[in-house]
Amino acid sequence: KNEVEQSPQNLTAQEGEFITINCSYSVGISALHWLQQHPGGGIVSLFMLSSGKKKHGRLIATINIQEKHSSLHITASHPRDSAVYICAVKGAQKLVFGQGTRLTINP
Partner 1 sequence: EPEVTQTPSHQVTQMGQEVILRCVPISNHLYFYWYRQILGQKVEFLVSFYNNEISEKSEIFDDQFSVERPDGSNFTLKIRSTKLEDSAMYFCASGEAGGWTGELFFGEGSRLTVL
Q: Which is nearer to partner 1, 55 or 94 (CB)?
A: 94
Told to check if 48 binds partner 1 by CB under 8 A, we report yes
The C-alpha atoms of residue 2 and residue 62 are separated, in whole angstroms, by 19
Told to check if 46 binds partner 1 by CB under 8 A, we report no
Told to check if 57 binds partner 1 by CB under 8 A, we report no
Question: Judged by CB under 8 A, which stretch of 15-23, 43-51, 62-70, 74-82 contacts partner 1?
Answer: 43-51
Question: Binders of partner 1: how many residues, by CB under 8 A?
Answer: 24
- Minimum Å gap between C-beta 98 and partner 1 is 7
Report the phi/psi class of residue 40: left, alpha or beta, with left for phi > 0 and alpha for psi in -120 to 50.
Answer: alpha
